[in-house]
Amino acid sequence: MIWSFGNEVGEQRARNGAAIAQSLRDIIREEDPTRYTTVGSDQAGPNDAFTGVVDIIGLNYQGEGRGTGSATFPDFRAKFPSKMMLSTESSSGISTRGTYTFPVTSSNSVTVSDTQGGDPRNRYVSAYELYAVSWGASPEKVFAAQDRYPYVAGEFVWTGWDYLGEPTPYDLSRSSYFGIIDLAGFPKDRFYLYQSRWNPTVKMAHILPHWNWPDRKGQVTPVHVFSSGDQAELFLNGVSQGVQKKTVSSGSYRFRWDKVVYQPGELQVVTYKNGNSWANATMRTTGEPSGLHASTYRDRKTIKADGADLSFISIAVVDQKGDVVRPSNNAITFSVQGPGEIVTTDNGDPTDMVPFPSPERKAFGGLALAIVRPKAGSSGKITVTASAKGLESAAVVLDVLN
């Protein structure tokens, strides 16, 4: 546990900033002499008096190097060799779940623009997860800096979830693009990149992008894979696209096949770790939407009627094989029978301005969400139904305990 007494405060380089910081630090240490203090510094450098006050150096973005800049971790280390250091805010990578733009940068970190990673017409940012704001960096640039300078304790990513407000780079949108998880709670592709880094014992492989590109037949469509494995082979319709080894020394924490030519069918990746089979994954070109599939969070179907418990119900638009049709945006209507009510619907689309209580919500990236609350003091069964024109409906039955 570390006590923080400021984040990106204006006093970092002010004439009396160090004195103010010292007084706040002294108050904290008087109350709790057992724990250290920090501040999230985005401006104070190693030679600023402000930096010398804190017990643990907390850096916002400047540590790994803003944008295309170089890491400043070594400068702080040289000035304060005995102080612990961490990234109190890192990355600020941005993306919109399930949306991809072309061409794809060959770099591992690029500042988003209308011609590079950005889609200004739809106000989306490519989910190849290589793009960041001007003051930030991609996750992989941060990883590389941490590995290069192992005295850095770790990072706190901005942010875990998308949130209302700060919709950089498209200020007409409702919510941010920073999250590892979108506003509706659905993981972005970036989720699996962080999982491969932070939980490398999990056997997983994740393919991107989706493989429904009827207008890209015959065009180069890069395929990337996030995995905790160290070697991978990609197949398109059974034909090998080559074997890749993860070259962490060059700052790459993913597998990249950047010259794949799109043709509909099936992508399959086979991964290995330390020479042994690790994890496989498949991505198919789907058929047309034919139905909806409903599921509850962790298959939790019993909830309490205490006026506070909630059920999170995810809806996927699927084809006849049950595969999620990722580009679909069918309009879905939710209805409830029994002692409950819909509190919120959402889809994770940062441009969707439909009010949260609306029972109607378009799917985004093939997914939508409904949050249901039992009526206080009630008991029985709640049936939540999702329907869409021309598609087979889906329903979930919840047991309500008083």
Nearest alpha carbon to residue 88 among 104, 79, 76 = 76
- In contact, 270 and 240? CB cutoff 8 Å: no
Q: What is the pLDDT of residue 67?
A: 85
C-alpha–C-alpha distance, residues 39 and 59, integer Å: 8
Among 232, 259, 284, give the residue marking a domain's end. Answer: 284
Among 196, 218, 237, give the residue marking a domain's end. Answer: 196
Nearest alpha carbon to residue 279 among 181, 190, 195, 189 = 195
Q: Please provide residue 74's backbone torsions phi and psi, each rounded to the nearest 5 degrees.
A: -60, -30
Average confidence score pLDDT of the chain: 96
pLDDT at 112 over 90: yes
- Whether residue 381 sits in one domain with residue 354: yes
Q: What is the pLDDT of residue 299?
A: 86
- Whether residue 378 sits in one domain with residue 347: yes
Q: Residue 40 domain-assigned?
A: no
pLDDT at 224 over 80: yes
pLDDT at 250 over 80: no
Lowest mean pLDDT of 67-76, 232-241, 242-251, name the range: 242-251
Q: Read off the pLDDT of each residue in 381-395 and give the average, rounded to a whole number.
A: 97
- Whether residue 225 sits in one domain with residue 101: no
Q: Which residues touch 379 (CB under 8 Å, ≥6 apart)?
A: 305, 339, 400, 401, 402
At 161, which CATH number?
3.20.20.80
- Whether residue 70 sits in one domain with residue 92: yes
At 328, which CATH number?
2.60.40.10
C-alpha–C-alpha distance, residues 81 and 300, integer Å: 50
pLDDT (tens digit, 9 = 90+) per residue, 62-79? 999 998 889 999 999 999
Q: What is the pLDDT of residue 136?
A: 96
CB atoms within 10 A of CB 266: 13
- Whether residue 184 sits in one domain with residue 62: yes
pLDDT band for 141, please (50, 70, 90 cuts): very high
- Widest pairwise Cα distance in the chain: 68
- In contact, 152 and 72? CB cutoff 8 Å: no
Q: Residue 33 domain-assigned?
A: no
Q: What is the pLDDT of residue 307?
A: 85
**Letter string b/e over residues 174-196, b meaning 16 or more CB atoms within 10 A of that residue's CB:** bbbbbbbbbbbbbbbbbbbbbbb
Q: What is the pLDDT of residue 252?
A: 83
- In contact, 257 and 298? CB cutoff 8 Å: no
C-alpha–C-alpha distance, residues 76 and 54, integer Å: 12
Query: 56 is written with which tokens?
Result: 């643990």
C-alpha–C-alpha distance, residues 114 and 255, integer Å: 26
Q: What is the number of structural domains in the chain? A: 3
How much of the chain exceeds pLDDT 70, in percent?
100
Q: What is the pLDDT of residue 236?
A: 98
Among 196, 213, 228, give the residue marking a domain's end. Answer: 196
- In contact, 295 and 365? CB cutoff 8 Å: no
- Whether residue 257 sits in one domain with residue 192: no
C-alpha–C-alpha distance, residues 273 and 200, integer Å: 10
Q: Read off the pLDDT of each residue in 325-334 and give the average, rounded to a whole number.
A: 97
- In contact, 228 and 201? CB cutoff 8 Å: yes
- Whether residue 388 sits in one domain with residue 346: yes
pLDDT (tens digit, 9 = 90+) per residue, 179-218? 999 999 999 999 999 999 999 999 999 999 999 999 999 9
pLDDT band for 283, please (50, 70, 90 cuts): very high
C-alpha–C-alpha distance, residues 178 and 398, integer Å: 33
pLDDT band for 164, please (50, 70, 90 cuts): very high
Kindly report the CA angle at 123 between 121 and 128, in degrees rounded to 5? 110
Q: What is the pLDDT of residue 28?
A: 97
Could you list the beta-strand ranges (E) of 299-393. Answer: 302-304, 311-318, 331-337, 340-346, 360-362, 367-374, 380-387
SS3 assignment, position 89 = strand
pLDDT at 249 over 80: no
Q: What is the pLDDT of residue 32?
A: 97
Q: Residue 28 domain-assigned?
A: no
CB atoms within 10 A of CB 374: 27
Q: Residue 15 domain-assigned?
A: no
pLDDT at 290 over 80: yes
Rg value, the chain, Cα: 24
Q: Residue 42 domain-assigned?
A: no
Q: What is the pLDDT of residue 278?
A: 98
Q: Which amino acid, 124?
A: Y
Q: Read off the pLDDT of each residue in 19-43 and give the average, rounded to a whole number.
A: 97
- Whether residue 176 sits in one domain with residue 60: yes
- Whether residue 184 sits in one domain with residue 79: yes
Q: Residue 207 domain-assigned?
A: yes
Q: Read off the pLDDT of each residue in 233-237 and give the average, rounded to a whole number.
A: 98
Query: 241 is written with which tokens?
Result: 């696209």
Q: Residue 209 domain-assigned?
A: yes
Strands 311-318 and 291-296: antiparallel
C-alpha–C-alpha distance, residues 37 and 54, integer Å: 6
- Whether residue 340 sits in one domain with residue 229: no
Q: What is the pLDDT of residue 248?
A: 74
Q: Is the peptide bond before 139 cis (omega within 30 degrees of 0)?
A: no
- Whether residue 176 sits in one domain with residue 162: yes
Q: What is the pLDDT of residue 237?
A: 98
Strands 311-318 and 367-374: antiparallel
Q: What pTM did the predictor assign?
A: 0.94
Q: Please provide residue 369's backbone torsions phi and psi, each rounded to the nearest 5 degrees.
A: -135, 140
What secondary structure, in 3-state letters, does 121-141 show? CCCEECCCCCEECCCCCCHHH
Q: Residue 18 domain-assigned?
A: no
Could you tell me the residue range of the domain that residue 90 belongs to?
55-196
Q: What is the pLDDT of residue 166?
A: 96
Q: Read off the pLDDT of each residue in 218-231 and give the average, rounded to a whole number.
A: 97
- Whether residue 331 sits in one domain with residue 225: no
Integer angstrom CA distances of residue 366 from 87, 97, 149, 212, 304: 35, 10, 41, 12, 30
